[in-house]
Chains A and B, each alone.
Chain A
Amino acid sequence: DIVMTQSPDSLAVSLGERATINCRSSQSILFSSNNKNYLAWYQQKPGQPPKLLIYWASTRESGVPDRFSGSGSGTDFTLTISSLQAEDVAVYYCQQYYITPLAFGPGTKVDIK
């Protein structure tokens, strides 16, 4: 099974500053035949279901603000919030969908400093 890890566990960032979350998979989730990384990022606010932000590691879901961006390939990935807004306070999860069992990272809690 693929194991997903995230760092840090939590971070506090000032409004308007950059937030960076890292995600690592225990094996490569890059599919060579289509050169796609099977990695998604979700945002979850308290009392709400997860919301898809990014898929294919770097493709922004429709309607997601462009301050959210994803990067990385193979086993190492990053979610960046370029200018943190108050509404971005949430827990962020990465998820691999390369192979079952689908797996999530443990989550990173983002707060305002």
Chain B
Amino acid sequence: EVHLVESGGGLVQPGRSLRLSCTASGFTFRDYIMSWFRQAPGKGLEWVGFIRTKAHGGPVEYAASVNGRFTISRDDSKSIAYLQMNSLKSEDTAMYYCARCPAEYCSSDSWGQGALVTVSS
């Protein structure tokens, strides 16, 4: 069974950093795009970015709202994807979800339960 578990969320002050992890199991991690999404309280879904498989290559892609502040990486040997968030702003407050996508396109068939990030002083 496919399982994705986010960790690392919490309360952080504006301007500070936080790193989320997404630990995967139940599938061949290296064969899937790993994507991050977020959902502000009471709001809709927003794509944050994704990292392709090493086999397919290509750049990591980000939403404009986080480009230059957030970095997505992956460790295929550990089946973990990471979301490094720097220079956090209050508007980054959200539930953050990781999800997997097939290698060639990104409709996300499995999602984690999410990690809550609150940016506040």
A contact set with B: CB distance below 8 Å: 38, 40, 42, 44, 48-52, 55-56, 61, 93, 95, 97, 100-107
Count of residues in B whose CB is under 8 Å from the partner chain: 23
Closest B residue to A52 using CB positions: B109
Contact of A101 among B64, B107, B112, B113 (CB under 8 A): B64
Q: Name the segment of B17-25, B40-48, B68-76 touching the other chain.
A: B40-48
Contact B114 A49 (CB under 8 A): yes
Cβ–Cβ < 8 Å partners of A107 in chain B: 44-45
Contact of B47 among A48, A61, A101, A106 (CB under 8 A): A101
Q: Does B106 sit at the interface, judged by CB under 8 A?
A: yes
Contact B64 A93 (CB under 8 A): no
Cβ–Cβ < 8 Å partners of B63 in chain A: 101
Cβ–Cβ < 8 Å partners of A97 in chain B: 101, 105-107
Contact A40 B113 (CB under 8 A): no
Q: Does B32 sit at the interface, judged by CB under 8 A?
A: no
Cβ–Cβ < 8 Å partners of A101 in chain B: 47, 61, 63-64
Contact A61 B112 (CB under 8 A): no
Contact A102 B111 (CB under 8 A): no
Docked pose: A58 CA to B89 CA in angstroms:
38
Min CB distance B57 to A, Å, is 15
Q: Does B13 sit at the interface, judged by CB under 8 A?
A: no
Docked pose: A56 CA to B109 CA in angstroms:
12
Q: Does B108 sit at the interface, judged by CB under 8 A?
A: yes
Cβ–Cβ < 8 Å partners of B50 in chain A: 102
Closest A residue to B105 using CB positions: A97
Closest B residue to A102 using CB positions: B47
Contact A55 B111 (CB under 8 A): no
Min CB distance B71 to A, Å, is 16
The 9 closest A-B pairs by CB, nearest first: A49-B111, A40-B107, A102-B47, A55-B107, A104-B45, A97-B106, A100-B61, A52-B109, A107-B44
Q: Does B97 sit at the interface, judged by CB under 8 A?
A: yes
